[in-house]
A and B are shown apart, each in its own frame.
Chain A
Amino acid sequence: MCTMIARQVEVEGRGKGAGGWFTVRQANVSYDHPFSLPLEHALNIDFVNEAQGPGARVAVELTVESARTLVETIQAVLTRAEAGGYLEEDRAHA
C-alpha cells in the first residue's frame, strides 16, 4: 500500500545527481514504495534542492536493516570524529 509515511528535514550539503553536483537543501525520508529496490516498501532517502526542480535529487532506497545500520554507522563515525576534535562545527566555534 501507499503508506504516506514521509518527513522532510532541512540539510546543508552537496549531492551528485544526474546533472552533476548541486547544493542539497532538503532530505526527504519516507517508508513507502521504492522505484527500483525489489520490495513493496523501503526506507527511501531523497537528497534534493526543491528550488532547482524535481530533477535535483540524489536517491537511495534501503532495506530496513540497511537503514538502521546506516543510522548507527553515521552516529558512530560522528562520535569518533567529535572525540578527535575533527568536527567542522567544533572548529567553527573554537
Chain B
Amino acid sequence: MNQTDMYEGMLAETVTMHGASGDVINAYFARPLGPGPFPGVVLIHHLPGWDEWYREATRRFAHHGYSALSPNLYFRDGHGSPEDVAAKVRAAGGVPDDQVVGDVGGAMRYLRSLPYINGKVGVFGTCSGGRHAYLTACRAKGFDAAVDCWGGRVVMSSEELTPKQPVAPIDYTRDLSCPLLGLFGEEDKGPTPEQVTRHEEELMKYSKTYEFHMYPNAGHGFFYYDRPAYRQQQAVDGWYKVFAFLEKHLG
C-alpha cells in the first residue's frame, strides 16, 4: 500500500513481444519504476477489444506493484480504433483458442525475461478474457495464479464448439497448474450460476486450489464503470479480492 510520503513512479508504454507461432505482436506494458523485484501479471483483454479500460487496468496493476502486460490479441486482424478492430473480430467469431494460448504464453515469457521480475507471474482476464485466462492457466505451464472474471463459455455444449473454440475449457481442468480466483454475478446469463457450479464441481473433482465468489445483484461485467452493468459495491470488493489473491500467490 502506498503511503503519502513515498516516492511513486510508473512506466507505461506499448512494446512488442513474440506471441503464438513466434509472431511479433504488440502489447501494453506498465510497471512501477525501480529495481523491483515485482511480480508479473498478464492481462487478457475482453471481446470489446484492447481498449482504454484495459489500459487503465494494466496501469492499475502497476500502481499495485506489478509488472503488467496486456497483449493485443487482435494484432493480426488489422489496425484502427479498438472498437473497429474488435467489431471485425466479433464478426469473425473471435480469435482461435490456440492462438490466444500462444500469445498469452508469450506474454508470460516476456515478463519472465525481465530482470526485475520476482519469479512469479499471474494471469487476469474479464469476459472472453476470463475464459482465456482459465484456458491458458490449464494449457500453458508457467503461471502461478489465475483470475477469471465472469468468463463465459468455460462450460460449453457440443453445439457451441467451433473450429476456433474446439474444446470447452472446463475439459482441461485436470491440467490447471496454478491457484484460481473466480468472480461471478448471480444475474449473469453466461456464465450462469449453474455453469459456475458445474465448473466448481470439476475443480473439486481434481482437487484444484481455487476460490469462487458469486455476487448478488450483479451480472456480467460489473467492474466496467462505463457500462450499465457496473455495480459499485461488488466491484470494490471484487478488486480487493483480486489483489488479496495475487498478493498471496505472487507476492
Which A residues have a C-beta under 8 Å from some C-beta of B? 1-4, 6, 8, 28, 30, 32-33, 35, 38-40, 44, 46, 48, 50, 53-55, 57, 59
- 9 new A-B pairs (CB below 8 Å) besides A2-B94, A55-B81? A1-B189, A2-B127, A6-B91, A8-B91, A33-B127, A40-B220, A40-B221, A53-B79, A55-B84
By secondary structure, the B interface counts as: loop
Docked Cα-Cα span, A32 to B92, in Å, equals 12
Interface flag for B166 (CB, 8 Å) = no
Docked Cα-Cα span, A85 to B78, in Å, equals 43
Nearest-neighbour CB distance to chain B for A70, whole angstroms, equals 18
| Contact with B90, one of A1, A30, A40, A53 (Cβ below 8 angstroms) | A30
Nearest-neighbour CB distance to chain B for A44, whole angstroms, equals 7
Interface flag for B236 (CB, 8 Å) = no
Interface flag for B47 (CB, 8 Å) = yes
Interface flag for B80 (CB, 8 Å) = yes
Docked Cα-Cα span, A47 to B128, in Å, equals 24
A53 contacts across to B, CB distance below 8 A: 78-80
Contact in complex: B48, A54 (CB < 8 Å)? no
Contact in complex: B80, A55 (CB < 8 Å)? yes
Give the contacts of B63-114 with A (CB-CB under 8 A). Answer: 77-81, 83-88, 90-94
Contact in complex: A54, B87 (CB < 8 Å)? yes
Interface flag for B188 (CB, 8 Å) = yes
Q: Which 9 pairs across A and B sit closest by C-beta, in order of nearness? A: A1-B190, A1-B152, A28-B91, A54-B80, A54-B84, A55-B80, A38-B228, A2-B47, A2-B128
